Amino acid sequence: MQFYCNNCKNNIEESVYKYSVSNFGKALCLNCQNSTPEARKLADALNKLGWDAVLEKPVSRMHIDISVKKAKVNIEVDGTQHSLDLKQAMQDLKRTCFTFNRFWITLRVPNSIVRNKEAFDEAVGYIHKFLSENVRQLKGDVYDKICDFIRGLFSK
């Protein structure tokens, strides 16, 4: 029997599968098990809304907590160390700029929001709208570029 990670779909060994199911309630590879409970909670909520949010995606040696490919949005679920630790804060800024150059937007969600039931539900609503809006804008961009290109062909 083949075992695979519920999150990233990579194959996993039976021992990893058993450990994960008893500790996390679902099959996760070692990489996905490393994500924080807050990141997993947010990814689960977004997946219930159909976003295919993926946990812990490595991007050129950098780690992204949650990535939502169809909206080109990365979500960082941050603890306090991200703003208090200068090195970490600088690393975060670099990663935000690096991924933005590839047309990915980074959204930061503090752990405190994820841990509060009421705030979390409200935040998921905002994030859902944010993702939908970015999908709409991405489509608009491509459409506008194609229109400009076609207009360009006929204006000469």
CB of 24 to Zn ion, least distance (A): 11
74 vs 134, which CB is nearer to Zn ion?
A: 74
Q: Which H helix or E strand runs over 78?
A: strand 73-78
Site string for Zn ion, 20-39 (x = CB under 5 A): ---------x--x-------
CB of 8 to Zn ion, least distance (A): 3
CB of 65 to Zn ion, least distance (A): 13
Report if residue 5 touches Zn ion, rule: CB under 5 A: yes
CB of 67 to Zn ion, least distance (A): 13
| Secondary structure of 23-48 as H, E, C letters | HHCCCCCHHHHCCCHHHHHHHHHHHH
- Nearest alpha-carbon partner for 68 in 114, 27, 109: 109
Paired residues of 108 in beta bridges: 76
5 vs 66, which CB is nearer to Zn ion?
A: 5
Do you know the residue count of the chain?
156
Place of tokens 């099959």: 27
**Applying CB under 5 A, which residues contact Zn ion?**
5, 7-8, 29, 32
